Amino acid sequence: MSFQIRQAIATSVAGSDAQEIYAMVDDAIEKGDEHFLPGLGVFFEQWWQSAEPHLKQDAVELIAQKFTH
């Protein structure tokens, strides 16, 4: 993913509160449109970079469960 995409996504959510970001994520997932995937990926990347190791482990376990069941 190019830096320009990351920056554009960061700029588009700058100043948004938690409720607004929740609505953006929920809307992107509900619509299922693949052009929203890079944005969700940027959100995940930003979270991952600051998450505690135990939260990362919990996340990958949940993800693994979704793809193994």
| pLDDT at residue 35 is higher than 90 | no
| pLDDT at residue 30 is higher than 70 | yes
Please give the Cα distance from 65 to 68 (Å, whole number).
5
Looking at residue 2, what is its pLDDT?
A: 58
| pLDDT at residue 1 is higher than 60 | no
39-63 in b/e burial notation, b at 16+ Cβ within 10 A? beebbeeeeeeeeeeeeeeeeeeee
Domain residue spans in the chain? Answer: 3-68
- Quote the pTM value: 0.80
